[in-house]
Chains A and B, each alone.
Chain A
């Protein structure tokens, strides 16, 4: 009984931290319309600042915590709201979701840059020692302290919302933002304040959690995202009290799991993915109106006039020159460039799997690493265990990812936009913690050997293999868009209701397109494993799914061309650092990609490829000035969506 009470108190203590943070998340979401997937990275960043002040500069721990939570975090929150999310207002929800992913990548990069990504131990705010509770239960002072701080903060927030004028304005905006705006409430001010509060709670969460968890840039942000989102979906991201209750529930459930189900096997891994199981359950059983709230998930892009495009012949010529150049790379450049560009091919293929989902179909996936991992480990086992030839194993392995994609597609029929993003992220984490972290599946630290196909062992031959596969998937991607399937996908993206009214089997197409995306990502996963000749779980950590989305958006999420630009950029990035002038690049990698993705969304949603194309069209026009543009010849099949 004493053990149970102790477990319960421990659970409530950590639960109230999750509760506080998830309340902050929901508060920001409801007032500004932005669900912050970068919440964990904000907590990470602010906690590192706390560490620098308390340990580095030697300030008293309490003072440092006060400065971070009370001054730095709120300023950061207001800044993000003003500079990033206010300009994105009115855009579809999915845009701001991806922007927060960019934010996540960005702050993760800042931590790498300033603190070299080192793990730190953060001092506790509370004295050591234990307290004896009546009834004989013993509990650590720090745990009691955490509980008190979290409860006091929650009560403070509750009192503010309940009794102050600004609190009433808050609740008005939370319950109905447009109407609150009409009633003369300055919704911008309120959302800024919500961001300040939300960021403060993120900082507080990091500061309270890290003394027992360690400040680890790889572990903390996903951990926080998992628990905070898990708690927040309990109230379907709209109810503050339910979000709070959800946090307590997760904390207690986790404590009980740890206390009573100690097994290290499958059950132990289930405990890790508890929040994601909660997300999955909550999302699948959410009321219809909520699940489909993100129905406008399609991007509204300021597509430029079709006239701004270079002629078909010019574009064909550019493509031929570009691919011709790529074909010569192993002859013209050193081996390290060859290897780097092979990586670029692999990422381009992975990004094509995102382009057909997001760019063509208006769907979203934060779970591509799951498909990649399933394919890579399946292929490796088929070669190792069943001794299948590499080529057959490669195709079978990628096919193994298809049912997983189909499943997500089936879910995507019921769940839209934001909830789909949550669901796919949960899927990636569950695949990771349930399967990829299981040594019998993934071979543990060393991974499973995955030899390159016979005849492609050398770097040059591997390069051409990648080149060939890229061309195959580029052609598939282009054919897919210009054909009937592409038109149907675009139609579903613009209006599912109308698609149904024309007899289009929406469910079938979603299942199909997620399956195809999983297959392409799967091929990418196997090709990635060829680099080190092993399938290892480090290549498929869920965090990478978010980076992939960010870089794909930076390159251009709407076209195969964008995928190639993004893929090559990501592949050769570190290679560029070989030049002395560019040697600073690696340190800024995540910062640049994160910032690039968010800026792309604000400035030009078509990304770098859009910019390149615009520049290219301008040059082409300068060349054939005078030669009047012929009217677009009567090709019967113009491109879908009116954009490249």
Chain B
């Protein structure tokens, strides 16, 4: 059974076909990478899976349930967590509260009355969610930053926090959009370690869109390669490295600025 299946997805913007009949499958507990040169349509496809774009054709299934035109917040409630290429932390809230919001969103229902009246129910729910948030804080190694404003965190820690925030919603699938941007190589490595733990220890399936080939090769069990909106190859990292179509897409044209992408860190 697959956690996620994006089937024959085509996305057009006016005359431009950004994604052309691409199919991607994330098996239960899988760790899938989605790579490709700049402009290959990775982010567009990713956004269709996350619910920020509706595909022109094709469908998206989550745990065999069609979610093609479901809004982003509803997908999140089904168990799809995500991070953003451009950090989207709750900047003025504390690190702890960032996690707390996420835990509460998944764990407790909207109940403004017990909030306003400060009913006992509210406090028991808060205590429960605070436990989840504290455990996450510990797992991320961010206890020292508990009361810091999220906006004051350095990028490396901010990326980790954003991942942890999504994890607090107890997702079965994590969508990660270029998590290594802004990180140096050590930070990227550490982030990769964390991702592996998320995948192996927590059993969460991951779909990773990434530029940093070292990271992708290191952590992903299976890769899909997009070029000009088409899926040109799929396989294990070792197979992909040897695939002639992939080599052509990345290295074929010297004048293409993306030629440098695989070497880029």
Contacts and interface: CB of A to CB of B under 8 A. Distances in A.
Interface of A: 298, 300-301, 303, 306, 475-476, 479-480, 483-488, 490-491, 493-495, 497-506, 508-509, 512, 516, 632, 636-638, 640-643
A268 to B, nearest CB: 41
Contact of B93 (A475, A494, A508): A494
B147 interface: yes
Interface stretch (B6-14, B84-92, B247-255): B84-92
B117 A479 contact: yes
Top 10 A-B pairs, shortest CB-CB distance? A503-B76, A483-B115, A498-B88, A494-B90, A636-B130, A503-B77, A500-B72, A500-B73, A495-B88, A485-B115
B122 interface: yes
Nearest to B149: A642
Contacts of A298: 92
B30 interface: no
A303 B92 CA distance: 9
Contacts, number: 134
Interface in B169-206: 169
B92 A480 contact: no
Nearest to A488: B101
Contact of A501 (B93, B122, B134, B166): B166
A487 B73 contact: no
Given A306-B147, A479-B115, A483-B122, A502 B92 contact: no
Nearest to A506: B73
A298 B81 CA distance: 25
18 contacts: A303-B92, A476-B116, A483-B115, A483-B118, A491-B90, A491-B98, A494-B89, A498-B89, A501-B50, A501-B81, A502-B81, A502-B165, A505-B110, A509-B110, A638-B96, A638-B97, A642-B92, A642-B94
B84 to A, nearest CB: 7
Nearest to B131: A636
Contact of A487 (B74, B84, B104, B127): B104
A494 B90 CA distance: 5
A512 B115 CA distance: 13
Given A487-B104, A494-B90, A495-B90, A637 B116 contact: no
B69 to A, nearest CB: 15
| Central interface residue in A487, A488, A643, by most chain B CB within 10 Å | A487
A298 B129 CA distance: 26
Contacts of A512: 110, 112
Interface residues of B, number: 46
Contact of B108 (A301, A476, A484, A497): A484
A498 B149 contact: no
A516 B77 CA distance: 25
Given A495-B90, A501-B166, 16 more contacts: A301-B92, A476-B116, A479-B116, A484-B108, A488-B104, A490-B97, A502-B73, A502-B101, A502-B105, A503-B74, A508-B110, A632-B147, A636-B126, A636-B127, A636-B130, A640-B97
A331 B115 CA distance: 35
A500 B74 CA distance: 8
B125 interface: yes
Contacts of A300: 92
B100 interface: yes
A488 B166 CA distance: 15
Interface in B8-41: none
A491 B76 contact: no
A484 B117 contact: no
Given A491-B93, A642-B149, A501 B116 contact: no
A293 B128 CA distance: 38
Contacts of B93: 487, 490-491, 494, 640-642
B92 A490 contact: yes
Contacts of B105: 488, 502-504
A150 to B, nearest CB: 41
B233 interface: no
Contact of A637 (B84, B91, B101, B130): B130
B102 interface: yes
A516 B127 contact: no
A639 to B, nearest CB: 8
B240 interface: no
A303 B110 contact: no
A306 B95 CA distance: 14
Contacts of A487: 93, 97, 100-101, 104
B82 interface: yes
A551 B178 CA distance: 45
